[in-house]
A and B are shown apart, each in its own frame.
Chain A
Amino acid sequence: MAHHPFTRRTLLGAGALLGLDAAAGGRARAATPLTVGFIYVGPKDDYGYNQAHAQAAKALKGMSGIEITEEERVPETNAVEKTMESMINLDGATLLFPTSFGYYSPYLLNEARKNPKIQFRHCGGLWTEKDPQNAGSYFGYIAQGQYLNGIVAAHASKSKKIGFVAAKPIPQVLNNVNAFLLGARSVDPAITCQVIFTGEWSLAVKEAEATNALVDGGADVITCHVDSPKVVVETAARRGAFVCGYHVNQSPLAPQKYLTGAEWNWLPIYKDAIAAMQAGKVPAHFVRGGLADGYVKMSPYGPAVSDGARRNADAVKAEMLKGGYAIIKGPLKDNTGKEVMPAGKAYPEKAVELEGTNYLVEGVKGSV
């Protein structure tokens, strides 16, 4: 680990930090801490997307030479521009992590152009070479986690039907749905997956109703892609279905029914970016990775996971840890019968094409 605040200070020099020094007042003579700003769209403790980021931010707080400034429930409107500016001007933040997808365009781009000396890293993978050089993005291939979820789910399912509560039919969600089903089908090709879209990222009653509808339809393992999976996990467990988690470890909510879960692990990305800043370098512009890079991890197996399921999932996981694992590989049809991938072709985890997924694979019931 390259945490050498003093190196950073000497290397980075006065230029970028002049404003910060002025803001911090006289005591800024000694090691000026690097102030890192985190912006969340929802509450920090939502048992989901925002919590995954906030957990990483919390872990950073103990590090020397770092100051963390956080703001939660910032809407995806021009309010987030003001939050970024406020963190820059009043808190002296020089590295910002606006974590919600909708913050990028136009808000983050506007602020990046306005504040060329501040580094912006956005969660979602939208940055391209045409965008400002002080901006960038990072994201994790969590579909790998959903594939492993699918494997474990297939071993647990008796009805051979599994269910997915999804927010919106956007590529990232569709990749997860497809991966969950394909993981399950790698165990048993007869399995089908019903998907229900709620239309919103966070809507408790609708998520509960969707979960009930899935269980009523015969699904006995449920997973989801909504901002806060708490309601889905609890509702499914109460209905007697098994659950696979998402975003963070939800096993405390359903200790008996929780099989495993796909979790984010943002900490290495944040640590790398901070280390780069401290070394006076520009943090990487485009960071993406999955299990192999440690940006995605799996929840520990629950008590209901059989030995066979563990062995199966662990074996695939070992393959994934080597890097370059392809979930989407031909021959593959979508659920309308159209071929989406000919035999012999495959999209490994880093394939850009996955960002444009607009289909559900054969075996998923539902439509985009």
Chain B
Amino acid sequence: MVADAAPSKLAADRPRGWTSLPLRAWLARRCEALAIPVGAALVGFLLFGLFLAALGKSPLQLVDIVWRGGFGSPFALGNSLQRAAPLLFAALCVALPARLGLVVIGGEGAIVLGGLAAAAAAQPLAGLPALLAVPLMAGAAMLAGAVWIGAVGWLQAYRNVNATISSLLLSYIAIALANHLIEGPLRDPASLNKPSTLPVGDAFMLGPMPVIGVHWGLGCGILACLIAYVLMDRTTLGFAARIAGGNVRAAQIQGLPVGRLIVGFTALGGAFAALAGYFEVAAVQGNANGTLAAGYGYTGILVAFLARQNPLAIMPVAFLLGGIEASSGLIQRRMQLPDATVLVLEGLLFLVVLLSETLYGRFKPFNPHLWAEKREAVPA
């Protein structure tokens, strides 16, 4: 153990795989990464329980309702998973640029434009076999999202325009542009009181996934998270991005193409976000309309930050959030509480979970370098 002290201390900042560490130390870190957020979430629920108790409502009833509404039955699970699906994509649009140190908060724009691009692409593709048209529609969506958020990266890398503000501005502009097109040039004349584009057609619609019955956005979202994880944590490109995110100057001295990395990662994030819009059109609504801007992009920011920008962690966080939102209806109906209750719960929960990040590296059982230090201290 003593011999391991130095490398494990280095690795303690960010656990990188388990091959370099003994299994026990690896397990300890994984336990820490699980125990701290779960413990914090429990504390968050406890605080919210106190809040409810102060209002004369039963905290136990809340636990029961969140369980039944979000997790406790196949229907509840399906409900949560359905709500999680778009969040997976939206969160990746935050997490990928974050690797390079960029805070992108405009994923909503990419979602809306992605959905619109998919719906618009379906028209000229009509008549083609679905096997060909479906990927082309998804490709059109991804292209739109990649260009939109890639522009944010380009502006940051080559013009020094802050990505946070430009992505926010561009998202408002994207929504205005989409509304203009949906209610103007791209409007289906038959869509009278709910302005929409022409329907993409049943042939190009995606059915639900087998067994779980949630649309394919969920499966593809999970796949996207896995791809992003491999890219960010298992490839040279991801490593280069992390260096550039940590210190631009060092990266430039190393000869890393920082500008291209930024544009590439933001574009990929935008492409993923656009897929959320694509599935909204091709698996849910059947056309593009104003409800594409349903706020998934903003919830995705929250998911990404809660997941500490880790694509693997995005999956459980999105699922948890989906579950809470799924129980929102029951909270209203059974506890006679306003819909905003869920916002308060989420806000409180996330405050505590984010605050708990300060606890990493503080508990001995979870931190091999603390074990080592103690052993060192004894002989001295």
Contact = CB atoms under 8 A, between A and B. Distances in A.
Tell whether any CB of A sits under 8 Å from a CB of B in the complex: yes
Contacts of B338: 43, 72
Contacts, number: 71
Given A168-B183, A170-B194, A76 B291 contact: yes
Interface in B171-218: 179, 183, 192-195
Among A69, A101, A355, the most chain B Cβ lie within 10 Å of the Cβ of A69
Contact of A78 (B68, B69, B183, B284): B284
A83 interface: yes
Interface of A: 43, 69-79, 82-83, 85-87, 89-91, 101-102, 105-106, 124, 126, 168-172, 199, 355-356
Interface string B144-181: 00000000000000000000000000000000000100
A72 B339 contact: yes
A79 B289 CA distance: 16
Contacts of A73: 339
Interface string B54-95: 000000000000001100000100010011000000000000
Given A71-B332, A86-B79, A355-B192, 19 more contacts: A71-B333, A72-B332, A76-B291, A77-B284, A77-B294, A82-B79, A82-B83, A82-B329, A85-B79, A86-B69, A86-B75, A86-B329, A89-B75, A105-B194, A106-B284, A106-B285, A124-B193, A168-B183, A170-B194
Interface in B267-326: 280, 284-286, 289, 291, 294-295, 325-326
B82 A170 contact: no
A283 B140 CA distance: 45
Contact of B326 (A82, A105, A106): A82
B43 interface: no
B330 interface: yes
Contacts of A355: 192-193
A169 B187 CA distance: 12
Number of contact residues on B: which range applies?
A: 20 to 34
Contacts of B75: 85-86, 89
A73 B338 CA distance: 10
A65 to B, nearest CB: 19
Among A86, A102, A124, A172, the most chain B Cβ lie within 10 Å of the Cβ of A86
A169 B192 CA distance: 10
Contacts of B280: 77
Contacts of A169: 183
18 contacts: A43-B339, A69-B333, A71-B332, A71-B339, A75-B291, A78-B82, A78-B284, A79-B83, A82-B79, A86-B69, A86-B75, A86-B329, A87-B329, A87-B333, A124-B193, A126-B193, A169-B183, A170-B195
Contact of A75 (B192, B294, B330): B294
Closest 9 CB pairs of A and B: A73-B339, A82-B79, A76-B291, A170-B193, A71-B329, A77-B294, A78-B284, A171-B192, A83-B329
